[in-house]
Amino acid sequence: MIKQLNPGAASGRTAAPLINVLMLIKHSLFISSLFIIFIMETLTTANAQDTPTKASSQQMVDALHAAFGKHPNARAVHAKGIILEGDFKPSAEAKKLTIAAHFQHGTIPVTFRFSDFTGIPDISDMNGGSNPRGLAIKFHLPDGSSTDIVSHSFNGFPTANTDEFRELLLAISKSGPDAPHPNAVEQFLGTHPVAKTFLTTQKPPSVSYATLSYYGVNAFKFTNADGESHFIRYQMIPEAGDEFLTADQLKTAGPDYLSMEIKKRVAAHTPIRFNFYAQVAEDSDTIDNPSIAWPDSRKMVLLGVLTIKSITPNTLAEDHALTFNPGNLPDGIEPADPMVIDRKKMYPISVAERNN
């Protein structure tokens, strides 16, 4: 497995503010991913949120459009993706942490959606802006309800609260090729060293969506049948391990290589399994700041195994009907990070816009 920095290959239709900003940065290839992870689902600095979010949910969605452009029938972020189906089998240890329904009994059906970053629906998989990759998971519960996880392929966020996320998006929208230096993004980075450090460690292109680890960076509170609670963050680790493109593979990888590869992998009945973990916080860990990843030494509890088995038709109607919301939670799981509440309010607005 060879790790190489992501080349910034051209995409098709793009959001001018973001792409122009990327082209302006001179610090070599790793900065081609500079703003990519920024804009994720929700981000901010090294200070945890201790005041209510000022921006409205509509303002947050509008800021995403300002950075990426507004595209018909497309999600505001992680617009390019592919839907698959499979199942989840919980471990015996999972029910010791939480009473949540999907961890109590046998195997249940699951819907998955892998995606590229940004709100650009035809971005090239080889463009630096397509990272981090996304993995959204919908567990179909026995009573007919569901619960969701929204994750991405980087362990952490560069910032700590929703309002700073909006500042970043608006800074990107104002930092086109004609903007004087230091432009808005450069000024943002100058006052957010944690974000700048974080954003220089992006992953290279993976062999497959199935050969990447994914992280649910916001924290949640798990409560078990005895009333005991623990703070956790999710990790989905591929059973076969992370694997990245070699230099020769990079030369031949096309703009849609990830969706083509996962279709071939499924058709060949190649096993696609992820070990689904809860990383358990200790008393010294910061719970409400997603920009601070917890140490690798923290206890990891295997919650079960996620298995991908088939590709869905992936029609426009299917994509419109399929929504994921990190605030869609069952009994036994609660938000521990205020950003989850903000995201819960934002997602329905984005869904309504793409369906109109």
**pLDDT, tens digit (0-9, with 9 covering 90-100), for 110-162:** 999 999 998 999 999 999 889 899 999 999 999 999 999 999 999 988 788 98
> Residue 198: pLDDT band by 50, 70, 90 thresholds?
low
**CB-based contact 190:181 (threshold 8 Å):** no
The C-alpha atoms of residue 289 and residue 77 are separated, in whole angstroms, by 21
DSSP string, 139-163: EE-TTS-EEEEEEESSSS-S-SSHH
> Residue 45: pLDDT band by 50, 70, 90 thresholds?
very low
| Per-residue pLDDT at 233 exceeds 60 | yes
Task: Report the pLDDT value the prediction gives residue 268, as an integer from 0 to 100.
Answer: 97
Superfamily designation of domain 16-354: Catalase core domain (2.40.180.10)
The C-alpha atoms of residue 203 and residue 88 are separated, in whole angstroms, by 27
78 has catalytic annotation: yes
Q: Name beta bridge partners: 215.
A: 152, 235
More confident residue, 15 or 222: 222
What tens digit of pLDDT does each residue of 293-311 get?
999 999 999 999 999 999 9
Q: Is 190 exposed, middle or buried (0-12, 13-18, 19+ CB in 10 A)?
A: exposed
- The DSSP secondary-structure symbol of 206 reads B
Task: Report the pLDDT value the prediction gives residue 44, as an integer from 0 to 100.
Answer: 35
The C-alpha atoms of residue 140 and residue 142 are separated, in whole angstroms, by 7
* pLDDT (mean) for 183-192: 88
> Residue 52: pLDDT band by 50, 70, 90 thresholds?
confident
The C-alpha atoms of residue 280 and residue 299 are separated, in whole angstroms, by 5
The C-alpha atoms of residue 171 and residue 328 are separated, in whole angstroms, by 30
Task: Report the pLDDT value the prediction gives residue 6, as an integer from 0 to 100.
Answer: 33
Dihedral sign of CA atoms 150, 155, 160, 165 in order: negative
Cis geometry, peptide bond prior to residue 158 (ω within 30 degrees of 0): no
Phi/psi for 218 (5° steps) reads -70, 150
Mean pLDDT of the chain: 86
Number of H helices, E strands in the chain: 10, 9
Cis geometry, peptide bond prior to residue 109 (ω within 30 degrees of 0): no
* pLDDT (mean) for 33-40: 38
| Per-residue pLDDT at 28 exceeds 70 | no
Is the full-model pTM beyond 0.95?
A: no
More confident residue, 257 or 12: 257
More confident residue, 294 or 24: 294
- Long-range CB pairs of 26-31, under 8 A, 24+ apart, other chains included: 29/5, 29/128, 30/5, 30/200, 30/201, 30/202, 31/199, 31/200
Which of 9-18, 79-88, 312-321, 341-350 has the weakest average pLDDT?
Answer: 9-18
> Residue 291: pLDDT band by 50, 70, 90 thresholds?
confident
Task: Report the pLDDT value the prediction gives residue 94, as an integer from 0 to 100.
Answer: 98
Q: Supply the Cα-derived Rg of the chain in whole angstroms.
A: 19
Which of 7-16, 132-141, 158-167 has the weakest average pLDDT?
Answer: 7-16
* pLDDT (mean) for 172-193: 88
More confident residue, 196 or 282: 282
What are the strands, taking DSSP E only, across the chain?
81-90, 108-115, 134-140, 146-152, 214-223, 229-238, 272-280, 300-311, 333-335
Q: Which helix (H) or strand (E) holds 262?
A: helix 257-267
Which tokens sit at 148? 């969701």
* pLDDT (mean) for 238-266: 96
| Per-residue pLDDT at 20 exceeds 60 | no
**CB-based contact 211:176 (threshold 8 Å):** no
The C-alpha atoms of residue 199 and residue 288 are separated, in whole angstroms, by 20
The C-alpha atoms of residue 193 and residue 252 are separated, in whole angstroms, by 36
> Residue 49: pLDDT band by 50, 70, 90 thresholds?
low
| Per-residue pLDDT at 204 exceeds 70 | yes
Catalytic-role residue among 78, 102, 152, 230: 78
Q: Is 52 exposed, middle or buried (0-12, 13-18, 19+ CB in 10 A)?
A: exposed
More confident residue, 244 or 129: 244
Task: Report the pLDDT value the prediction gives residue 23, as an integer from 0 to 100.
Answer: 40
